[in-house]
Structure formats: structure tokens, C-alpha cells
Amino acid sequence: MTKTNQTLGEFIIGHQESFKYSSGELSRLINSIRLAAKVVNHEVNKAGLVDIVGEVGETNVQGEDQKKLDVYANEKFIQTLINREIVCGIASEENDNYITIQGHNEKHNNKYVVLMDPLDGSSNIDVNVSVGTIFSIYRRVTPIGQPVEMEDFLQPGNQQVAAGYIIYGTSTMLVYSTGHGVNGFTLNPAIGTYYLSHPNMKIPEEGQIYSINEGNYVHFPQGVKDYIKYCQLEDEENGKTPYTARYIGSLVSDFHRNLIKGGIYIYPKSSKANNGKLRLLYECNPMAFLAEQAGGKASNGFHRILDIKPSELHERVPFFCGSTKMVEKAEKMMAEAER
């Protein structure tokens, strides 16, 4: 039975048998992510006191300015995962290509690959707004004992064995799923331990919040414009009041709020970005996995996100994610506008 005073370590051990590959490796992998998150959390919390905010002066593969904390978080997660010898490959939003990892015996016997956005929402670092880490875990598809290949990473999201995020905010939380619901753990900074604080998280079927950068309104497709107008509409006859607009600009933060309160997050394609901005492998797939495990929905406006077959590591897709009825309404308006 799930108890809210459980530590993350106790929870992982207690639920290991519910995972179909119960060799213990996945549990060790989640524990490694937990450890790296605590290290990054420590740096995020002291960012205003030391020279770790601001830009490095380099850009990542996406052409975005890399913040110092971006680089630090990327290095810490990669370093921790390599040192624990649990994964055979890592792909990060910050790196051009994937990393192949050998075990101590120089063999490639590990079964899992990790894909991650080590510090989502990094444009908010300098102004003390919540940021986060997003991770996604797959079993490799190439033969064990050989170096990983691109096909191990270019799997559709429906093949994920686990996914989650860490939000570094007023409190630090780790939220994850191994395909058996979504659970959230809050860090007690006094003793450095995560405790189960949000068991069996469920997103409301309907919500009152829509999260989108309306500053790009003129560049959005007609279906998105129609949905925004619907969100702002008051319909007394059907009991609908205008929705509340809430947009932080950090996917982890916006998703976390909507997961708890109900809402929809949209980052659509536009005339400035034909495939939107968010990355399928590092952001959309893990968040879509969590949304569905919590009873929500995620799509590109027309099709289920988790069924999309990736064609490249840094592929971008439009993203509609959140409460089921809200996403379905947006999809309906997208389809109508396409006719």
C-alpha cells in the first residue's frame, strides 16, 4: 500500500516488481537521476550567490545561447549516469550527437538509453523563475554487447519504459512514471531526501487554464487562433466562463501546474517555426507519457504524440498537452480549420 511518508528509495524498491523488467537496473537508473537532481538543485538554489548565472558565450545544437547552469546540469547528469554504469547511451538536448557508454569491462551490456533536457526553461534562470529537468528512458533495440546506434534513440514515445521531470521551484519535486501511474516526490532539503507527497497524480479531465505564448498570435495557424478565442469566450448558456491564461515559458513549470489544477499547454507550429519549438525526444515524448499516465492527452494537434516515429535526434513538433477534453476541443478546431 502506498504511504505518503515513503521515501523515493523505499517507493522504488516497493514497486520494483510491478515493472516487467524487474532486474533492478531501472531502479538504479531512477536512483542515479535522483542523485544528479540533488546536485543540480543545490547549484540552482545558490545561483544568485555565485558566478553560475548568465551565458557561457556558446550556443547549443538548437542555436540557443547556453546558460552556465545549462552546461553544469548537462555535465552532472551525464557524469552521474556514466559513473553508475547503468546506461549504454545518453542523448541530451545540449549535445549534437548521442553518447555511447561502455561498462567497466569495456562491454556494452547495459540495456537502457536516457534522453534528457538537463535544464528546461533556462531563459528564466537569471530572473529566479522555476526551471526543471526532463528525462526519458527506453530499452535499447540493438543487440546487447554492441555499441548503441541511432535507432536505439529514435523510438516512438509509446516505447518509453519510464519518464519524468524534476522541478526546481519553491520546493523541489521529482515526478515520474514507469507506466503504472504518476507519483510526485518532494525534497526535504534539511536531510536531502525525497518523500512521496503526491501519490497517483491525476490531471482533471477539464480545466480552466490555457498556457500559450499569445505574443506569437499573428503567426499561429487558424485552428490555434480559433481555440484561443474559444478559451476567452463566455458562454452563459453552456455554463462556460473565460479561461485563465497562465504562461511561464518553462515547460516543466507550465506542465506541472496544469497537471495539478487542470489545463492545456500549447506550443504550436507558426509562420516563424513550421514545426514549433519543442523537441519530440527530449520534451514532448516524456511529457506526453506522463500526461497519459495521469489520465490526460497529448498530440501535435492532429495525432497522438507517442505514436510519432522520430526521424532525427533534435526533431521538433507542435505540442498540445493537458486535460483530455481541452486537448480534444483544440484538435477539433484544428481539424475544422484545415477543411
Binding-site annotation, residues? 93, 117, 119-123, 213, 247, 277, 283
Name residue 120's beta-bridge partners: 132
Query: What are the φ/ψ torsions at residue 171 (nearest 5 degrees)?
Result: -130, 155
DSSP letter, residue 243: P
| Strand residue runs (E) in 140-203 | 160-168, 172-177, 183-188, 193-198
Residue ranges of E strands in the chain = 55-59, 65-67, 87-92, 99-100, 112-120, 131-139, 160-168, 172-177, 183-188, 193-198, 209-211, 244-245, 264-267, 297-299, 319-322
Cβ distance 161 to 114 under 8 Å? Answer: no
Annotated binding site for substrate: 120-123, 213, 247, 277
CA 58 to each of CA 55, 309, 314: distance values in angstroms, whole numbers, following the listed order: 8, 31, 18
Q: Residue 173 — φ and ψ, nearest 5°?
A: -125, 145
Helix 222-232 vs helix 324-338: crossing angle, to nearest 10:
130
Calculate the CA dihedral of residues 164, 281, 161, 90 and round it to 10 degrees. -90
Residue ranges at the known binding site for Mg(2+): 93, 117, 119-120, 283
Other CB atoms within a 10 A radius of the CB of residue 230 amount to 18
Q: Residues 257, 300: contact at Cβ < 8 Å?
A: no
